[in-house]
Amino acid sequence: MNLTFDVERLLLPVSVDLQDTLNRVISESGKWTPMIQSVVFSFRQKSYSPENGGYHPVEVRITRLNDQWVFDYITDFSYCGLMPELEKEIDFDFGHGVAYIRYMGEVPITESSVAEFYSMWETNFLSYIGMDCFDEIKVTVD
């Protein structure tokens, strides 16, 4: 089993390392079947809280398009507000072609500044995975 990503449809510089990581995670989950149409990967540090901080929860959704896979969204959540609730802090919405960054708002995903920001964000995210910062990784399939 190998998720083959449609690199022609990537709106951001999604690295081969991230693609390989998602392949590894779904393989280890045991949830792969050829009939799957979408996969949601949820990465979480159970101890993350407004009081103690920690690593933000991240969700990645990919969908099948013919025999390849495309990114639907990558969302980074954090606590926000006086009565802290988990909210989107960063959202790369490939399906709608926009990126949302808290305190900046929504911008076209094709802006060069978004690609630069994404690359930095992804490098950090992959580092956190490599350091085993996420003690709960869930895979949900449709």
**Contact in structure between 39 and 26 (CB atoms under 8 Å):** yes
Confidence of residue 129 (pLDDT cuts 50, 70, 90): very high
- 3 with 23: CB under 8 angstroms? yes
pLDDT at 112 > cutoff 80: yes
pLDDT in tens, 85-104: 999 999 999 999 999 999 99
Residue 74 domain flag = yes
| Domain that includes residue 108, residue range | 38-141
Tens of pLDDT, residue by residue over 47-99, are 999 999 999 999 999 999 999 999 999 999 999 999 999 999 999 999 999 99
**How many folded domains does the chain comprise?**
1
Domain assignment present for 17: no
- Of 3, 12, 29, whose CA–CA distance to 136 is shortest? 29
Residue 32 in domain: no
CATH code, domain with 80: 3.10.450.430
Task: Examine residue 101 and state whether it is found in any structural domain, yes or no.
Answer: yes
CA dihedral of residues 93, 57, 54, 112 (deg, nearest 10)? -20
Is 23 domain-assigned? no
13 part of a folded domain: no
pLDDT band, very low/low/confident/very high, at 2 (cuts 50, 70, 90): confident
Determine, yes or no, domain membership for 94: yes
26 lies in a domain?
Answer: no
Average pLDDT, the chain: 97
